[in-house]
Amino acid sequence: MWADAVFQGGGVRGIAFVGALEVAEAKGYRWMRVAGTSSGSIVAALLAAGYRAQELKAIMFEMDLAQLMRKTGWLRLPVVGGPLQLWRKYGLYPMEPLEQWLRARLAEKGVRTFGDVEEGRLRVVVTDLTAGRMVVFPDDCPRYGLWPQEFPVARAAAMSCAIPYFFQPLRLRARGRTHLMVDGGVLSNYPVWLFDSKEKPRWPTFGFRLVGERSTQVQSTSNFWHYTQALLKTMISAVDHLAVREADEVRTIFIPTGPTSSTDFSLTDREKEALYRAGIQAAEAFFERWDFDAYCLKFRPRYRVHGQKQATPVNV
């Protein structure tokens, strides 16, 4: 069975997606098209490259998350390092370690650019702060004078993962202007609509969304550093709990991630396993009630569910 998949952002909690994917694959689903924003773009990119859920689990558990918080530049200085790094670099940590890691994983499957992936199969959502708009790679490459087939997948995903303030924005030089590219979740953290069209859906689109606990803890804002941390936590928590319209809710696998923070890069193997298990449980509950025909009848009533000829899927 074919399906499309769209992954929300969620930082390190994205490990939970792998558990949900394992259940979907066990149910017989294969992915026609995939998309993601922030950490969801990493999962989407790896799926588009040909990774299966069990392979994803292995590489996610082996990944040294602490390497993503490597102190460079001003950040090496005590006390004043954080504010200085933010002032000079617009973010605390560089994106290079994550981009290099993803580039290596994709290379293992023979993927470097979007040209190495079946056309239309992968979309990555990014925020262009300079232009003040959402960007979808590779679709929007021509806007920047770029050839879609030559744009690196790892670069696009790294842009999508650049959480403001926490990570340094990536720069895209195009047509005489430098664009600052950051986390796609700034403008669209759950683009489950990306593959929707006016036609009757030939297969379902499943959304994968992480839901954390609302924190009741009072956060310190006594200095600039604490203020920045509180701002990030509040922004991420707010995005988690944005309302989802009913037509999208019924096709969404909501995965509870407990108190784990999106920027908790010191996760233990036990905590990773808990997130993975949460994904499994959420997906099992979802597929027990999922009915594609019922979805089409209620939310796409203009189209017949049965007796309509469907297009042949492309090879993936």
Within-domain flag for 316: no
The pLDDT tens digits for 92-126 are 899 999 999 999 999 999 999 999 999 999 999 99
Active site residue 128: no
- pTM (two decimals): 0.86
- pLDDT score, position 312: 37
Residues near 284 by Cβ (< 8 Å), separated by ≥ 6? 23
Question: Tokens for 290?
Answer: 């999922």
Number of H helices, E strands in the chain: 10, 10
Question: Tokens for 56?
Answer: 């994803």
Within-domain flag for 143: yes
Within-domain flag for 256: yes
* φ, ψ of residue 293 in degrees (nearest 5): -60, -45
- pLDDT score, position 69: 76
- pLDDT score, position 313: 39
- pLDDT score, position 218: 53
99: amino acid identity, one letter: E
- pLDDT score, position 308: 41
Question: Tokens for 198?
Answer: 């006016």
- pLDDT score, position 40: 96
- Strand partners of residue 254: 209
Active site residue 183: yes
Q: Which residue in the list 4, 128, 183, 248 is annotated as catalytic? A: 183
Show the domain range for 262.
Answer: 2-299
Domain with 95 in it: what CATH number? 3.40.1090.10
Listed as ranges, residues in the chain with pLDDT below 70 are 74, 213-244, 302-316
* Residue 281 C-alpha from the chain's centroid: 20
- DSSP-H helix ranges across the chain: 15-26, 39-49, 53-62, 81-89, 96-107, 153-160, 224-240, 246-249, 269-289, 292-299
Within-domain flag for 305: no
* φ, ψ of residue 186 in degrees (nearest 5): -60, -40
Q: What is the tally of structural domains in the chain? A: 1
**CA-to-CA distance for 53 and 51, rounded, in angstroms?**
7
Residue with tokens 């027990």: 288
Question: Tokens for 81?
Answer: 């390092």
Within-domain flag for 57: yes
Residue with tokens 């490259």: 49
Within-domain flag for 304: no
Within-domain flag for 313: no
Report the sign of the C-alpha dihedral through residues 193, 194, 198, 201, in that order. negative
Neighbouring C-beta atoms of residue 222, cutoff 10 Å: 8
Within-domain flag for 211: yes
